[in-house]
């Protein structure tokens, strides 16, 4: 492999303002870019679009499914809860396509928050649409734009354990939804104290993980992104030699 691995990051298509302009834009919190570059990768944005998932995934070495708005409950066969956000079918469709290609082309995948939920739904799982209904508190999303501080325990023997240890691992959460039924081929890899599933993995693949927390919001612990970049580097070399 010549150069650092390319990590594709899925992003928003939304209105944004800069200078004298207010226009539709491809957006992502820069914390994701910083996490990837600190880990030695090169970040490449993958904004929602009608086609091109095959070509996009063929051009990258690893995929980061970023956090964002709630998935359309119709994608997992439910009516919307009153607290579920407005559906964004454009982003849902694009990310399902990109994830499908990433799994088919066998490149490393890390899903963050929404990204983990999308991975679960893509593989036939379902979500809890409003976690406070089940838990009776809002510890996972204390207030708008305020992360909840949690700690998770990682399943011994999981693929995640060599990366993070078995815990307790301090994490920063911002989610009001969670995994209800786990998708085919996935296993739970971490839980918080109230037994909410906080990580999923695909044990038959070297690097397919989803985490419900936001590792990009904790720059002091970049281990997940370092592992993603390392796996992407290895995958790129294997692709070149195939």
Determine the Cα–Cα distance for residues 66 and 189; give it in Å rounded to an integer.
19
Q: What residues are labeled active site?
A: 113, 214, 216
Determine the Cα–Cα distance for residues 78 and 80; give it in Å rounded to an integer.
6
H/E stretch holding 239 reads helix 223-241
Lookup result for tokens 């914390």: 31
β-strand pairing of 148-154 with 109-112: unpaired
Kindly state the tokens that stand for 144. Answer: 């708008």
For residues 14 and 24, is the Cβ–Cβ distance under 8 A?
yes
For residues 114 and 71, is the Cβ–Cβ distance under 8 A?
yes
E strands in 114-234: 126-128, 148-154, 169-173, 178-181, 187-192, 197-201, 208-211
Determine the Cα–Cα distance for residues 209 and 187; give it in Å rounded to an integer.
10
Burial of residue 70 (CB within 10 Å: 0-12, 13-18, 19+) is buried
Q: Could you give the angle at the alpha carbon of 172 between the alpha carbons of 203 and 9, nearest 5°?
A: 60
């Amino acid at each position: 492999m010549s150069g650092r691995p390319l990590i594709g990051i899925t992003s928003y298509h939304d209105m944004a303002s800069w200078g004298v302009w207010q226009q539709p834009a491809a957006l992502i919190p820069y914390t994701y870019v910083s996490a990837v570059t600190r880990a030695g990768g090169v970040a490449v944005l993958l904004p929602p679009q009608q086609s091109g998932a095959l070509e996009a995934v063929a051009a990258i070495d690893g995929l980061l499914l970023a956090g964002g708005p709630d998935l359309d409950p119709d994608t997992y066969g439910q009516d919307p809860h009153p607290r579920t956000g407005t559906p964004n079918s454009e982003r849902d469709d694009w990310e399902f396509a990109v994830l499908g290609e990433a799994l088919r082309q066998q490149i490393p995948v890390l899903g963050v928050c929404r990204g983990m939920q999308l991975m679960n739904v893509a593989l036939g799982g379902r979500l809890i649409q409003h976690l406070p209904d089940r838990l009776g508190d809002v510890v996972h999303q204390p207030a708008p734009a305020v992360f909840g501080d949690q700690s998770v325990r990682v399943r011994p023997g999981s693929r995640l354990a060599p990366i993070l240890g078995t815990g307790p691992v301090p994490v920063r959460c911002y989610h009001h939804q969670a995994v209800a039924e786990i998708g085919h081929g996935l296993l739970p890899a971490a839980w918080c104290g109230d037994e909410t599933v906080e990580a999923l993995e695909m044990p038959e693949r070297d690097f397919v993980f989803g985490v419900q927390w936001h590792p990009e919001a904790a720059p002091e612990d970049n281990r997940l992104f370092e592992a993603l970049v390392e796996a992407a580097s290895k995958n790129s070399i294997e692709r070149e030699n195939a």
